[in-house]
């Protein structure tokens, strides 16, 4: 079929030095603060976890290709969350919701301009990419096969928390998303004293 003949090209994560070698007005600490704030936005709007990870993927891809001033970093984060919600949510927040959540720091028109710029910088390539959460959601199905009762929920929450911490750390760019997700599973198993720490692929 036509679908079977399509070859999807996954966009790789940005280079590991785009904040230290390319950006001049922002640093890893500012990015970490942005992630922390976007988590609050996600909770406020009750958005999916994948929306958060997609938004930060858009942010990082943008920062790799275009310099930005620190006073517009929050605008970029909101805009990328808006785009991610359009891709991942059934009923996502609109621009006016982000104007409100940013305490009217930016106008409706500024959001529209930034949305257009982000799409242009990313070449409208918003569909196919890897994030650590994509792998984590699959690995959890394997990592909980020998976890019983209430511990299943605790284990999943811990693994998601560890992966979210990695999302905040700029230094974690050196590791592939699949490795981050598997490490979160392993660390969660060790923390909860579940042995073995890593399940065999034959399990």
The answer to whether the CB of 81 falls within 8 A of the CB of 41 is yes
The answer to whether the CB of 120 falls within 8 A of the CB of 81 is no
Closest CA to 173 of 2, 30, 58, 12: 12
| pLDDT higher at 201 or 140 | 140
Q: Quickly tell me which residue has 């020998």 as its tokens.
A: 146
What average pLDDT does this structure show over 21-28?
Answer: 94
What average pLDDT does this structure show over 80-92?
Answer: 94
Structure-token pair, residue 113 = 């301009």
Predicted pLDDT at 199: 63
In this predicted structure, the answer to whether residue 3 has a pLDDT above a threshold of 70 is no
What average pLDDT does this structure show over 126-149?
Answer: 85
Predicted pLDDT at 10: 42
In this predicted structure, the answer to whether residue 141 has a pLDDT above a threshold of 90 is no
| Cβ partners under 8 Å of residue 57, min gap 6 | 13, 129, 131
Q: Among residues of the chain, what percentage have pLDDT more than 90? A: 72
| pLDDT higher at 77 or 197 | 77
Predicted pLDDT at 42: 96
In this predicted structure, the answer to whether residue 28 has a pLDDT above a threshold of 60 is yes
The answer to whether the CB of 140 falls within 8 A of the CB of 156 is yes
In this predicted structure, the answer to whether residue 104 has a pLDDT above a threshold of 90 is yes
Residue 178's pLDDT band (boundaries 50, 70, 90)? Answer: very high
Predicted pLDDT at 2: 37
In this predicted structure, the answer to whether residue 69 has a pLDDT above a threshold of 70 is yes
Q: Quickly tell me which residue has 């959890």 as its tokens.
A: 140
Predicted pLDDT at 201: 53
CA–CA distance, 155 with 36 (Å, rounded to integer):
22
In this predicted structure, the answer to whether residue 1 has a pLDDT above a threshold of 70 is no
């Amino acid at each position: 079929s036509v679908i079977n003949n399509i070859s999807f090209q996954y966009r790789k994560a940005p280079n590991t030095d785009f904040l230290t070698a390319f950006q001049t007005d922002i640093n890893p600490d500012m990015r970490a603060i942005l992630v922390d704030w976007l988590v609050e936005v996600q909770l406020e709007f009750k958005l999916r976890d994948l929306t958060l990870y997609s938004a930060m993927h858009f942010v990082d891809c943008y920062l790799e290709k275009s310099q930005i001033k620190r006073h517009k970093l929050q605008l970029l984060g909101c805009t990328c969350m808006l785009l991610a919600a359009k891709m991942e949510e059934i009923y996502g927040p609109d621009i006016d919701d982000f104007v409100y959540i940013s305490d009217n720091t930016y106008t409706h028109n500024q959001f529209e301009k930034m949305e257009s710029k982000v799409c242009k910088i990313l070449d409208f390539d918003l569909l196919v990419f890897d994030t650590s959460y994509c792998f984590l959601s699959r690995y959890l199905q394997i990592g909980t096969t020998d976890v019983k009762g209430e511990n299943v929920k605790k284990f999943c929450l811990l693994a998601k928390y560890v992966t979210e911490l990695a999302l905040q750390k700029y230094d974690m760019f050196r590791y592939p998303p699949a490795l981050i997700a598997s490490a979160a599973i392993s660390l969660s198993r060790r923390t909860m004293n579940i042995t073995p720490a890593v399940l065999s692929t034959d399990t």
